[in-house]
Amino acid sequence: MTPDELKIAVARAALPHVVEGALLGVGTGSTANHFIDLLAAEKIQVAGAIASSEASAARLRGHGIPVLALDDVIASGRRIPVYIDGADEIDPGLHLIKGGGGALTREKIVAAASDCFVCIADDSKCVDVLGRFPLPIEVIPMAAALVARALSALGGVPKIRDGFVTDNGNVILDVSGLKISDPVAFESELDHLTGSVTNGLFARRRADIALVSSAEGVRTLRG
């Protein structure tokens, strides 16, 4: 199977996790894009989608799926039963690295607001220890050098993502050279870096379920 076929297979496997008639959190990236297209093609009805990026919001709207603002949803006391999104890395405890597409901040917010996070990925994303994929960190532009210096002191090699601006008007540092054996503790440590908005470790709010595709089919992992 090609990489794209593996993404389509796992996106399709996520469809039964959608609660029909309810709100749905929708992630960002090529796997999430396949999921959005299949959701529309299969005519699965949701009350509305909460998107984790402007790109996903545009794709949802292009299919006629209403997109709601998270803040309005939460303020009105409504629940988001399921959030479906891809990942850049998944460890055996379903801790994730995300943000390869630069949408980590809104992804973390929608994941935090959702009752169940279903992660969809092909098995090239599965690792024993997080860190092979450079960890994205969204940073306030004026603090990029300051945060980079702090990340270097932590043993990482930060590199600014050239020419990239997030939906929130910030920049991304991609940090290589990390071996993240305690993702929960490291996420908390990174949360304290002044000038950083969000780090791409999804550890405290990890995935509840990971659907992982390979040539043998799609397997379901639970945290």
State which of residues 87, 109, 180, 212 lies at the interface with ligand 5RP (CB under 6 A).
87
Compute the least distance from the CB of residue 158 to ligand 5RP, in Å: 17
The residue to which tokens 């920049």 are assigned? 171
Q: Is 216 a catalytic residue?
A: no
Task: Quote the radius of gyration of the chain (alpha carbons, Å).
Answer: 17
3-state secondary structure of 210: strand
What's the rounded Cα separation, in Å, for the pair 210 and 223? 8
Question: Is 188 an interacting residue with respect to ligand 5RP (CB under 6 A)?
Answer: no
User: Any idea how long the chain is?
Assistant: 223
Q: Are strands 171-176 and 196-199 parallel, antiparallel or unpaired?
A: unpaired
Residue closer to ligand 5RP, measured from CB, 30 or 194: 30
Amino acid at 23: L
Question: Is 183 an interacting residue with respect to ligand 5RP (CB under 6 A)?
Answer: no
Stretch that binds ligand 5RP, among 42-50, 82-90, 169-177, 212-220 (CB under 6 A): 82-90
What's the rounded Cα separation, in Å, for the pair 25 and 191? 24
The residue to which tokens 């939460």 are assigned? 74
Residue closer to ligand 5RP, measured from CB, 45 or 220: 220
Residue closer to ligand 5RP, measured from CB, 28 or 213: 28
Question: Is 28 an interacting residue with respect to ligand 5RP (CB under 6 A)?
Answer: yes
Compute the least distance from the CB of residue 21 to ligand 5RP, in Å: 26
Phi, psi for 218 (deg, rounded to 5): -110, 125
Question: Is 198 an interacting residue with respect to ligand 5RP (CB under 6 A)?
Answer: no
Question: Is 100 an interacting residue with respect to ligand 5RP (CB under 6 A)?
Answer: yes
Burial zone of 123 (CB within 10 Å; 0-12 exposed, 13-18 middle, 19+ buried): middle
Size of residue set near ligand 5RP by CB under 6 A: 17
Residues serving a catalytic function are 107
Positions touching ligand 5RP (CB under 6 A) are 27-31, 85-88, 98-104, 107
